[in-house]
Amino acid sequence: MNRVGLTGGIGSGKSTLAGMLEKRGVPVLDLDALGRELHNDAGCRDALIGAFGDGILDAQGRVDRAELGRLCFADVDRMAVLNSIMHPRIWQREQQWVEARQAPYGLIEASVLIESGDISRMDAVVVVLADEDERRQRVMCRPGMDSARFDAIVQRQCSDAERRAAADYIIENNADLAVLEDSAAGLHRRLLERFI
């Protein structure tokens, strides 16, 4: 199965696009969700505690993602340690997921696919773009989101220029869902033509 990386900035609509393609029978793996799941996998949890201390645990002994984020997101060195723990585990699970499926292509969705520095394992990269004001408006209703948090996330993510440079396919998503649905249909058609 060919791997199609799907990425875009916060609020760009990449998860919505992934859902539209999934309805068309495309397998979808959300690497962000997989990372959240892995935080409390025994080996990963132990490695995280070894690197950052048991202050990252909540009252139930589970990794507190908010605390882990507070420790790492503003510290380049700590972020590098976190990535060295998480990325190999995520990539191993991704490989297992790919091997267990049969389809012309599967979507590998990740918010920091380009930033992780290893898009070379993808057979194609799809980038979803939207104006920053539009993206801000879309995410303000999310729990725990405010303007300062949105700005901090945008600062950690690569620029749209970097996304364009890495993309094989670009989906502009500044209109309504009907327009995105049309874009999803066209993208699916082009990817099937490429991989079948």
Q: Is it the case that residue 189 has pLDDT exceeding 80?
A: yes
The residues, ordered by sequence, that sit 6+ positions from 13 with a Cβ below 8 Å of its Cβ are 128, 130, 138, 171, 173, 180
Of 100, 131, 147, the last residue of a domain is 100
In the chain, the number of structural domains is 2
Of 100, 128, 156, the last residue of a domain is 100
Residues 78 and 13 in one domain: no
Q: Is it the case that residue 171 has pLDDT exceeding 80?
A: yes
pLDDT number for residue 116: 83
Residues 77 and 113 in one domain: no
- What is the model's pTM? 0.91
Residues 132 and 168 in one domain: yes
Could you report the per-residue pLDDT of 74-131, keeping only the tens digit for each?
A: 788 998 999 999 999 999 999 999 999 999 999 999 988 998 877 999 999 999 999 9
Residues 47 and 141 in one domain: no
Residues 119 and 146 in one domain: yes
Q: Is 7 helix (H, G, I), strand (E, B) or coil?
A: strand
Name the residue among 97, 114, 115 with its Cα closest to residue 106.
97
CB contact at 8 A, 78 and 67: no
Residues 96 and 109 in one domain: no
| CA–CA separation, 75 and 16 (whole Å) | 31
| CA–CA separation, 79 and 169 (whole Å) | 29
Parent domain of 52: 33-100
Residues 173 and 193 in one domain: yes
Q: Is 28 helix (H, G, I), strand (E, B) or coil?
A: strand
As given in the structure block, the two tokens for residue 129 are 């773009």
- Bridge partner list, 128: 8, 171
CB contact at 8 A, 146 and 10: no
Of 53, 74, 100, the last residue of a domain is 100
Could you report the per-residue pLDDT of 4-46, keeping only the tens digit for each?
A: 999 999 999 999 999 999 999 999 999 999 999 999 898 999 9
